[in-house]
Structure 1
Amino acid sequence: MYGVKLRVKARVEHTVGYSDYSDYSDSVTGRSKSIRKPTPTIQHNNTAVVQSTQQHSPNPSPQDAKDELKKKSKNDADPLEAILGYVGDMGRYQRFLFVFMMPFGVFFAFIYFVQMFIAATPQRHWCTVPELAHLEMEVRRNLSAPGAATGAWDKCSTFDVNWTQVLQTMTPPPPGTPTVPCRHGWDFELTDIPYATVVSERGWVCKHAGNVPMAQAVFFAGAFTGGLILGWLADHFGRVPAVVGANLIGGIGGIATIFTTGVWDFALCRFLVGMAFDNAFMMTYILVLEYVGPRHRTWVANMSIALYFGMGCLSLPWLALWIGDWRKLLWYTSAPMLLVVFAPLVLPESARWYVSQGRINQAVKVLRKFERVNGTKIPDDVMDEFIVTSNQTKQNKESLLVLMKSAPLRLTMILMLIVYMACSVIFDGLVRMSDALGLDFFISFTLTSATEIPSVTLLACVLDRWGRRNLTAAPLCIGGILIGIAMLVPKGIPQASMAIMARFCINMSYNAVIQWSTELLPTAVRASGSATLHMSGYVVSVLSPYIVYSERLWTSLPLLILGIVSILGSGISLVLPETKGRPMPQTMADGERIVQEQALCGKAEDIEEADWKNEKEKALIT
């Protein structure tokens, strides 16, 4: 709590030369430390000459010290980080917001994966023959499906015969009998998928099988569009309106899907749902993280995803089985999202966004609300300093285009895009391979989803110790190796085991890079920048269904592609800057500072240590 006062005190004393000792606070823990900074010296003719700041400059007036303090304050990464130390970096209000994220995280999982369950394809199907409709299902299949006697029948064609004669003999036509494509639809045996789906109702198999990946591609196209629109909305009108808008669009799109009858209206509704995908949760996620102090940010960031997203993933397959109807499943997973209209009553707007828009009074009101709920008190002088500092920076109207004009930030953004895309396509690809691992679809999906909670819990425990960079690169590399091993083992339990362990690793990398990207982006472009990163994930995720379908060319081709992408993503992530223990950047200059203090695979330099080195160099020059 006292870290901010001690830091201010240290900077004033060092500036006016009152003391050789300076107290400062650790930027992460808030604990005060005391170090002795040696008096600057210079070498002249091989003789050390001691320079005294008191001898070369008179003691400044209190006003001069105050002016110097304001000048120094501009160099702080984020004035709100200091305020959190007084208002409580994980107080009652922050804990409430953590719980409040639960429905957003659960329905984020529903939005993402529900199409896998409403459009699941029963594997046992064959051509419908109207003349055989009065017979039992097994008899119909044995008579009409070429190859039924071997158990590997033709699903897309039937015999071109006189079925009246077949009924008289009740004997299937002999091998070599001419066949024709299915003319009257398909019969489905609902054993592996024990309920009617869009696919079984509308016959989206064989020549119509492309409707399923097409609808999924349209979903991700909607996610890309929604990222643009809602990211812009968040940066110009606030995070809360974006949260409300995203969830309303998702709820309406999901309900509208129930009433579709064809391909294109179904795809249009999935486009609307796609617009809400990710944005419905990530806007809330980013907003809550802004009010959590650095000591707790890693825990909140990762546990919210592990618990809530993981809960949604684990419950969805069994919810689908329990409901047993794809339309009712959409009702249960879409209608509750409309309750988001009440979210503004409890969800605070981003104080950082208010500051970036020059609306300082609203930012102060939000902080006062945290103060009341947490039962804390922000000292008047600290609040005054926050207002002064915020007013000095409120005119910096920065955009993502400005970020791309900065060479360090541009390179960082591009590399982060590549790493994020790698994590996205591997994660999505492993999810969509759930029914190709030789196990039951629902069990396989549950087992892979069960890795979410332990993997992200482990990440939350070690992320602040080992850093974002290491915990993105290492799991990606290990995951790539496990995917490679999966290519060499038989389907069933061996291959599923490798895929599950790979999913465990990718979960860690994916969640680490989500938090990492949030901490690298300056406040003014955090929403639009995060949206851009996520949009890159949407774009590449369009490919994941087709990567999985490439199994038809070579059984191991999907695993080979995902393994190579994983190894490449691991290598690229090593050159990105570390953000462990650093305040979120408020301005472009803050972001550039984080990037420029890094070396290839290097260790992040402590902020206070960097400040001291800069001051020492200036003193030596003087």
Structure 2
Amino acid sequence: MTRERTSTAQTMNKDVEDVIGPDNPTTEEASQISCDPFQLHHQTLGASKALCPEKKPEDAGEAMEIILDHAGAMGVYQRWLFVSMLPFGATMAFVYFTSIFTVATPQSHWCRIPELTHLDLELRRNLSAPGATTAGANYEHWDRCQTFVANWSAVLESLQPPTDAPTVPCRHGWDFQLLDVPYNTVVSERGWVCEYGTYVPLTQFIFFGGAFCGGLIFGWMADRVGRVPSLVAANLVGFVGSVACIFTNTHWDFAVCRFIAGLSYDNCFMLVYILILEYVGAQHRTWVANLSIMLYFGGAAILLPWLALWLADWRLLTLLTSLPMLAALAAPLLLPESARWLASRGKHKRTMKMLRRLERVNGTHIPQQALDDFIALSSNRKEDTDESLKAVLTSPRLLILLILNVVLYAACALVFDALVRMSGSVGSDMFVTFAISSATEIPSLLLVVLLLDRIGRRAMATGTLTLIGTLAMIAAFVPKGSPRAWLAISARFFSNMSFNTSIQWVTELLPTGARASGSSLVHVTSFLVSSASPFVVYLEQYWGGLPLVVTSSVALTAAAISLLLPETLGQAMPHSCADAERLITHHSLLGIFLRGPTDKDVEDESNGEEKG
């Protein structure tokens, strides 16, 4: 018997050496390879299978990782899927940013006087705008919302502005000198300035209201009818809403169309983003996630201001930037449905079809046993999201953790959106400033990829938010022009980093059962907070530096909050509420304040079990 065991061990060792190869670790070193299927992507797959043939995946996630190890974690199929994200990434940038250029406000404007319309613009301005003759081209020093009560026939004869005449609000609209924005926008066509200036932030507020509702509607739809149909629906709704804006005439019909367009925001890209990450091996997800945003979202944002200048027509710009949404019509033919969703819904034939297509395109082979394990585990999975979220909300520690996550993420979103919308108000060319600040997406996200797993989430979030707050506060007291513009661009650079850090941090802090619903709650809440950013920018009507002061205050407050949250670098993602509570207790300042009298007893009991 001993001889048989020795022979069997020698045979296994030889098999392992054959799998590993002469240039790889020895058999003894290979014996240290983990049998955890979820960690197979960190190891030599053949060696892991040889050493752990009896190991079964514990859940559908682990089973899918094993399938991807066999099928190829980043093969031809996944590369094609990465390329297919392009129109959707561009769409998200266009839906989000196009309104900055369609409802931009030309700052050089004054009351229109019908009797003066035959004169050139500069003379009209000097005769009708109080203070214009001494201010010259500096629009900040003439009254853009008042004009004289005068006999304009007499003014035409003397070609001199009235003296000592009372002023009244504009009665016949406004004249616009298209200098900073060299084309007519919704604002200049419809006179959304002065007492009507709140229409611009109000329409943006309504847009984010649509985004909030869309997140709930299409999130529910994705769980009921599938990811791909939801992706198609979100993009088509966005296309209809955006194009309909072209045919509006009043503020309210424009706002309704912006609400419809807002329904698609985020979902027009995030549904395909999540879908494709499900087909990518875990070791490739970080760069796929960040590179897709850098190239597609960032690239479209850089292109947008030059497209606006080239077209010089807000209607054409709206139409052209809406067209990529129609690419969603090809999604059912080109994109796979989520294999996890199909299997959990009992659609086993379609699941097999998707996975066999992955296998065929990559030129690999998925063992039948791996497919059977995935189907079985997916079919038996019990959805307990509502109960788990309820458990988070009823636990004092986890409730505080969730609230802090909401505040941090929403603050990062507000700071990011406000800095984006300040492109035209920092005293430099709006189009150049926007393009440069959008270009910061690329190096900033590369830094996140390189540094996040080295310095940790807390240090990254606290450091970048503190820098944002400092730069924005300095910029508030710097005169308008290039210095303020570069300070704002630098703040946008660090805002990209803090925002993306918070996105990842949220998912690592919540327990498994509440991760999807909790993350969704945090995400949609940020839409509501972001809806305040247009009003923050509108504060420049009272003092030019006030929006930057508000942005700085929000960033510094968020930096302080991030100090309280647990560090997740090197920590396993919590599977249960108890795991999340232990993470709070042992890895955060928050744990010092929330540490209960029973914590030590729990630790002692846990240590006793380990010793036993």
Q: Give the conservation status (yes or no) of the 8 Å contact 1:159–1:178.
A: yes
Match of 1:532 among 521, 529, 552: 521
Please show how residues 90-489 of structure 1 align to structure 2 within 5 Å: 90-151=74-135, 152-174=141-163, 176-393=164-381, 396-400=382-386, 402-406=388-392, 407=395, 410-489=399-478
Of stretches 286-295 and 501-510 in structure 1, the one that deviates more from structure 2 is 286-295
Q: Is the 8 A contact 1:77 1:583 kept in 2?
A: no
Using the alignment, how far apart are the partners of 1:577 and 1:292 within structure 2?
28
Judge conservation of contact 1:198–1:326 (CA < 8 Å) in 2.
yes
Q: CA deviation at 1:218?
A: 0.6
Aligned to 2:587: 600
Report SS of the residue matched to 2:263.
helix
Q: Please, which of 501, 505, 512 is the counterpart of residue 494 of structure 2?
A: 505
Alignment match of 1:79 (pick from 63, 67, 81) = 63
Q: Distance in 2 between matches of 1:450 and 1:420?
A: 22
Which is helix-richer, 1 or 2? 2
For the Cα contact (< 8 Å) 1:77–1:584, is it kept in 2? no
Cα distance in 2 for residues equivalent to 1:420 and 1:306: 20
Quickly say closer, same or farther: Cα 1:439–1:108, change in 2 above 3 A: same
TM-superposed CA distance for 1:265, in Å, is 0.3
1:551 partner letter: E
SS of structure 2 residue aligned to 1:180: strand
The answer to which of 104-113 and 517-526 deviates more is: 517-526
Structure 2 Cα separation of the partners of residues 458 and 183 of structure 1: 53
**How far did 1:487 drift?**
3.4
Q: Assess if the C-alpha contact under 8 Å between 1:158 and 1:179 holds in 2.
A: yes
Q: Distance in 2 between matches of 1:351 and 1:572?
A: 38
Where structure 2 has 5 or more consecutive residues not aligned to the other structure, the ranges are: 1-14, 17-29, 46-52, 136-140, 590-604
Give deviations 1:568-618, integer Å, cap 9, x for gaps. Answer: 323433454566688988xxx46864664563249xxxxxxxxxxx99976
The 1:107/1:519 distance shift into structure 2, 3 A limit, reads: farther
**In 2, are the aligned partners of 1:420 and 1:533 still within 8 Å (CA)?**
yes
Query: What amino acid is aligned across from residue 314 of structure 1 in structure 2?
Result: I
Query: Against the structure 1 CA distance between its residues 329 and 158, is the aligned structure 2 distance closer, same or farther, given a 3 Å change threshold?
Result: same
8 Å CA contact 2:418, 2:551 repeated in 1: yes
User: What is the CA–CA distance in structure 2 between the aligned matches of 1:326 and 1:179, rounded to whole Å?
Assistant: 33
Q: Residue 246 of structure 1 contacts residue 280 of structure 1 at CA under 8 Å; is this kept in 2?
A: yes
Q: CA separation in 1, counterparts of 2:64 and 2:114?
A: 71
Q: Which residue of 1 aligns with 2:483?
A: 494
Q: Which residue of 1 aligns with 2:43?
A: 31
Distance across 2 between alignment mates of 1:592 and 1:240: 35
Deviation at 1:284, TM superposition (A): 1.2
The answer to whether the 8 Å contact 2:111/2:147 transfers is: yes
How many angstroms apart in 2 are the aligned matches of 1:508 and 1:135? Answer: 51
Contact 2:241 2:260 in 1 (8 A): yes
Following TM superposition, by how much is the alpha carbon of 1:491 offset from its aligned partner in structure 2, in angstroms? 3.0
TM-aligned CA deviation for residue 368 of structure 1: 2.1
In 2, are the aligned partners of 1:106 and 1:312 still within 8 Å (CA)? Answer: yes
Contact 2:567 2:587 in 1 (8 A): no
Bigger Cα displacement from structure 2, 129-138 vs 398-407: 398-407
Q: 1:469 to 1:387 in 2, by over 3 A?
A: farther
Could you tell me how far apart the structure 1 residues matched to 2:498 and 2:390 are? 25
Partner Cα distance (1:517, 1:339) in 2: 31
Deviation for aligned residue 1:517: 3.8
Task: Please provide the CA RMSD for this pair.
Answer: 3.0
Structure 1 residue runs of 5 or longer lacking an equivalent are 7-19, 34-64, 603-613
1:276 match: secondary structure: coil
Change (3 A) 1:391 1:225: closer
Q: Which moved more, 1:284-293 or 1:487-496?
A: 487-496
Structure 1 residue 533: Cα displacement = 2.6
1:71-99: CA deviation from partner (whole Å, max 9, x where unpaired): xx437964322322222221111111111
Q: CA deviation at 1:547?
A: 1.6
Decide which of 534, 556, 559 is 2:545's aligned counterpart: 556
Q: Which has the larger displacement, 592-601 or 232-241?
A: 592-601
Change (3 A) 1:557 1:580: same
Aligned equivalents of 1:573, 1:360: Cα separation in 2: 44
Secondary structure of 1:282's match?
A: helix
> C-alpha separation between the residues in 2 aligned to 1:158 and 1:272?
38
Seen in structure 2, the aligned counterparts of structure 1 residues 76 and 94 have a Cα distance that, compared at 3 Å, is closer
* SS in structure 2 at match of 1:433: helix
Conserved? CA contact 1:253–1:269, under 8 Å: yes
Q: How far, CA to CA, are the matches of 1:75 and 1:597 in structure 2?
A: 23
* Other structure's SS at 2:110 match: strand
- Deviations along 1:470-512, one digit per CA (max 9) or x if unpaired, are 4333322322222233234333222222221111111012122
Q: Is the Cα–Cα contact under 8 Å of residues 122 and 193 in structure 1 kept in the other structure?
A: yes
The separation in 1 between residues aligned to 2:205 and 2:266, in whole angstroms, is 15
Q: Distance in 2 between matches of 1:405 and 1:444?
A: 46
Deviation at 1:304, TM superposition (A): 0.8
For the residue of structure 1 that corresponds to 2:34, the secondary structure is: strand
Residue aligned with 2:147, SS: strand
- The count of aligned residue pairs is 552
- Residues 133 and 557 of structure 1: CA distance in aligned 2, closer, same or farther (over 3 Å): closer
Q: Secondary structure at the match of 1:438?
A: coil
More off after superposition, 413-422 vs 540-549: 413-422
Instruction: Give 2:112's aligned amino acid.
Output: T
Please identify, of 466-475 and 289-298, the stretch whose mean Cα deviation from structure 2 is larger. Answer: 466-475
**CA 141–616 in structure 1, closer or farther in 2 if over 3 Å, else same:** closer
Q: Deviations over 1:219-265 (max 9, x none)?
A: 11111111111111112222112211111111110100000000110
Give the distance between the partners of 2:606 and 2:453, measured in 1 at CA: 28
Distance 1:484 1:213, change over 3 A: same
Shift of 1:455: 0.7
- The 1-side partners of 2:247 and 2:571 are apart by 50
Distance 1:82-1:342 versus aligned 2 partners, 3 A rule: same
Q: Distance in 2 between matches of 1:328 and 1:417?
A: 38
Aligned to 1:38: none
Distance change in 2, residues 1:510/1:379 (3 Å): same
Mapped partners of 1:592, 1:521: distance in 2: 11
Opposite residue 172 of structure 2, the aligned amino acid is H
Aligned residue for 1:24, secondary structure, equals coil
Question: Does structure 1 retain, via aligned residues, the 8 Å contact 2:60–2:374?
Answer: no
Aligned amino acid, residue 433 of structure 1: M
Change over 3 Å in CA distance of 1:517–1:103 after alignment to 2 = farther
Residue identity opposite 1:309 in structure 2: F
Distance of aligned partners of 1:522 and 1:270 in 2 relative to their CA distance in 1, 3 Å threshold? farther
What letter matches 1:115 in structure 2? S
Give me the whole-angstrom Cα distance separating, in 2, the residues matched to 1:280 and 1:582: 32
